[in-house]
Amino acid sequence: MEQKQKLFTKEFLALNTIFFFAAAVMAVFFQFQNYLQSLGIAFAWFGFLMGADSLASFVLQPFLSVYLNAVNARKWLFISISGMAVMLFSYKFALGLPSLIAVRILHGAAFVCLMSAIMAMLVNYIPSEKSGQAFGLVSIVRLIPYSIVPPILTATNKTPADFQTTLMFSALLMVLSLSLAYQIKPSQPIGHSLSFDGQGINMQGLFDDLKDRNIAVLFAVNLLLYSTYTIIFFFIKEYSHTKGIENPGYFFTIATAVMIGVRLIGGAFFDKLNKATLTAFCLAGLAICYILIAHIFNTGMFYILAFFIGLGWGIVMPLLNALMFDFSLPSFRGTNLNLSLVMMQGGFFIGPFLGGVLIGLWGYNTIFYLCGLLSLFAAVLMHTIIKRKPL
């Protein structure tokens, strides 16, 4: 019989705090394009370097998704936090292309281990009837740094040395998060995941899981969503300068504030709505907004689009995770959510890589038309979701 759980347990809060620190560190790389320019790196390599950390994640996470579970993830939590700290410190010495590629890949490997370990543990502390609320809160934790870090860095970091100093503080933040990891004791979580026996997932079970049409669609939509998200994240700053926008960091401040607001206000309602239909509607709206970015003519329009894009992201991102949770067998929830992170990391590589290539060939407007097309395709895919009662 399923034991009734509360959501805000010590473990849930500790894991989300570590997640918050990791997100804050990643938000620092809002200025990475400027930093690469200061090092004299050829523009042709920008897209690859921006996405190299996600390339490592894309390769590693399928294996981690199957290997990590509630029993062994705590050990990898410590390993990955330590690895993140070391790699952040290593940027100080990575001043040429080969060393930057190496650090970016190793940084990405540590980050994906951390995210996978967090997710493998976190799903065991989420009550089945509160999946929408839980993932709304988790996504807020991830987003808060993106609302405050970009404008702060825009105002304070004026030289490459400033960016390197910020990375040193980021490494210290990861070291401090080790103390939080100690708060999560190595014990079997209680609740709806008690059926988990601590053993690895067999390959036949995984193959059957991946054949599920709903699961496959959700993976594809995650890949498309985050490909567009990272194009906006990495290239909006330089593009906005061509339009005379003074502080483009406020684009993400506005977008993220809206994302946080909609999840705080609407998180509890996500579980009462048709999640698939609402996701499709918001993806279609995002497609329109992406295309309109190519036609902004003043700062006001720029910030209005930030508002509506934040509204779309704020609804879609947690709903995709909640849908994955709802449609997955209990024993595959952690695995499928980690495989969703594979798709996210794939988008974090594909997005900046394609963006860099297209900008070099045809200019900035092309990437926003691409984002619109990909988001519209994702909306169409959501309409193929097979309606059934969540598991």
Mean pLDDT of 124-149: 75
Beta carbons of 327 and 212 less than 8 angstroms apart: yes
d(CA 193, CA 210): 20
CATH superfamily of 10-182+200-382: MFS general substrate transporter like domains (1.20.1250.20)
For the question of whether the overall pTM of this predicted structure is more than 0.75, the answer is no
Structure confidence at residue 207 (pLDDT): 64
Mean pLDDT of 66-72: 75
Structure confidence at residue 191 (pLDDT): 43
Sorted by sequence, the CB contacts under 8 Å of residue 1 that are 6+ apart come out as: none
Mean pLDDT of 204-209: 62
Mean pLDDT of 74-100: 90
Structure confidence at residue 189 (pLDDT): 45
Q: How many CB atoms lie within 10 A of CB 357?
A: 15
Structure confidence at residue 192 (pLDDT): 42
Beta carbons of 105 and 54 less than 8 angstroms apart: no
Residue spans of the domains in the chain: they are 10-182+200-382
pLDDT digits (tens, 9 = 90+) for 323-364: 888 888 776 777 787 788 778 878 888 888 888 888 888 888
Which ranges in the chain belong to alpha helices (H)? 10-27, 32-38, 46-67, 73-90, 97-122, 131-156, 160-181, 203-211, 213-242, 249-266, 275-293, 299-327, 333-362, 364-382
The single residue listed with the structure tokens 């996978």 is 116
Tokens matching residue 378:
């994702």
- Letter string b/e over residues 155-189, b meaning 16 or more CB atoms within 10 A of that residue's CB: eebeebeebbebbeebbebbeebeebbeebeeeeb
* DSSP reduced 3-state for 311: helix
d(CA 99, CA 82): 20
Structure confidence at residue 87 (pLDDT): 93
| Straight-line distance from the first to the last Cα atom of the chain, in angstroms, rounded to the nearest whole number | 15
Residue 158 has pLDDT above 90, yes or no: no
Structure confidence at residue 205 (pLDDT): 60
Tokens matching residue 255:
């977008």
* DSSP reduced 3-state for 201: coil
d(CA 75, CA 59): 21
Beta carbons of 253 and 144 less than 8 angstroms apart: no
Structure confidence at residue 377 (pLDDT): 95
Mean pLDDT of 247-263: 82
Structure confidence at residue 329 (pLDDT): 76
